[in-house]
Amino acid sequence: MIKNIDMVNALIARNSMKLVTAPAPSDEELAKALQAAVAAPDHGNLTPWRFKIIRGEGIQQFADLAFRIRQESDEPFTEDKLAASKAWLSEVPLIIALGCKMDYSNTKIPEDERIIATGCAVMNLMNALHLMGYGTFWSTGIATYFEEFQTAIGFDPLEYRFMGFLAVGTPKMPIPQKNRKSYTEFLID
Ligand SMILES: Cc1cc2nc3c(=O)[nH]c(=O)nc-3n(C[C@H](O)[C@H](O)[C@H](O)COP(=O)(O)O)c2cc1C
Q: What is the mean pLDDT of residues 139-160?
A: 98
Q: What is the pLDDT of residues 92-118, one digit of tens each?
A: 999 999 999 999 999 999 999 999 999
**Residue 174: C-alpha distances to residues 103, 133, 181 (Å):** 41, 11, 21
Distance 107 CA to ligand 1 centre (A): 31
Evaluate whether 120 touches 129 at the Cβ level (below 8 Å). no
pLDDT surpassing 80 at residue 27: yes
Nearest by Cα to 100 from 150, 64, 149, 32: 150
Query: Ligand 1: does its nearest atom lie under 6 Å from the Cβ of 137?
Result: yes
Whose alpha carbon is nearest atom 17 of ligand 1?
138
Whose alpha carbon is nearest atom 6 of ligand 1?
139
Task: Give this prediction's pTM.
Answer: 0.97
Evaluate whether 81 touches 157 at the Cβ level (below 8 Å). no
Q: Read off the amino acid at residue 64.
A: D
Q: What is the pLDDT of residues 50-78, one digit of tens each?
A: 999 999 999 999 999 999 999 999 999 99
Query: Ligand 1: does its nearest atom lie under 6 Å from the Cβ of 88?
Result: no
Q: Which CATH number fits domain 28-173: 3.40.109.10, 3.40.1160.10, 3.40.50.150, 3.40.50.2300?
A: 3.40.109.10
Test site for ligand 1: of 124, 125, 129, 137, most ligand atoms within 8 A of the Cβ: 137
The domain ranges of the chain are 28-173
Model pLDDT, residue 76? 98
Test site for ligand 1: of 12, 14, 16, most ligand atoms within 8 A of the Cβ: 16
CA atoms of 14 and 136, how far apart (whole Å): 10
Evaluate whether 68 touches 157 at the Cβ level (below 8 Å). no
Query: Ligand 1: does its nearest atom lie under 6 Å from the Cβ of 119?
Result: no
Query: Ligand 1: does its nearest atom lie under 6 Å from the Cβ of 141?
Result: yes
DSSP class of residue 44?
Answer: G
